[in-house]
Amino acid sequence: MSRLFDILISGLALCFFLPFLILIVIILRFTGEGEVLFLQTRIGKNREPFRVYKFATMIKNSEKIGSKTLTMENDSRVLPFGKFLRKTKINELPQLFNIFIGDMSIIGPRPLVPEGEANYDIDISKKIRSISPGATGIGSLVLRDEESYYAHREDAHDFYKNVISPYKGSLELWYLENKSFYINLKIILFTIIAIIKPDFNSLAYFNKIPKMPNAMILSKTNMKDDDI
């Protein structure tokens, strides 16, 4: 997406959502630990680090305790209101500011924390980071509920590194090779649908997109079976 388009859309969105954002700020300020924003280092274009903005959903210093950058099933670090913000993805609305100032684009590869980026081969990382990261994108769309594939596993970190990260990388490379105005429109539309209907399967609507590994499908199926 062009920089002018990013500025225009993010600016209009910030104005439109301003009353709602203010309401969320007030609720966060007087609930949980009183924290409003969570700033996290992510890897952006040309592999340069930047600070991404999110609404706070966890206790302070959550990245230094427990499962660190991975969120587990019934994670005690997630605050009550934070669960709602994470489930609806409202916690990511402050990233509109990242888009407005140029850290991110509306559509692009998902920016990862340094530990997550390190799971990519260096050449793959350079290819993915040749464009600006996006608030949404094919990786973010297909793996919108990423936590559900590993949150219940005892080997969550290994599973993320050896199964989820390679698949995520293949999705981002697919986007780089196939990106177009039409693909971008589909990603925006399907992102909206996925917010309204979380179980929406976007994979079926993209041509020759990498298939999800069987290990991920089985892992999610086992989690659902455990809930019965």
Please enumerate in sequence order all residues whose Cβ is within 8 A of that of 78, keeping only pairs 6 or more positions apart, or say none.
57, 58, 71, 86
Question: 132: closest CA among 184, 87, 90, 73?
Answer: 184
Q: For 26-73, what is each residue's pLDDT tens digit? A: 999 998 788 899 999 999 999 999 999 999 998 887 777 776 677 776
Please enumerate in sequence order all residues whose Cβ is within 8 A of that of 42, keeping only pairs 6 or more positions apart, or say none.
49, 50, 51, 52, 111, 112, 113, 133
SS3 of residue 134 by DSSP: strand
Per-residue pLDDT at 87 exceeds 90: no
Q: For 163-178, what is each residue's pLDDT tens digit? A: 999 999 999 999 999 9
Q: Residue ranges per domain, the chain? A: 3-227
pLDDT recorded at residue 45: 97
pLDDT recorded at residue 228: 46
pTM of the full structure: 0.87
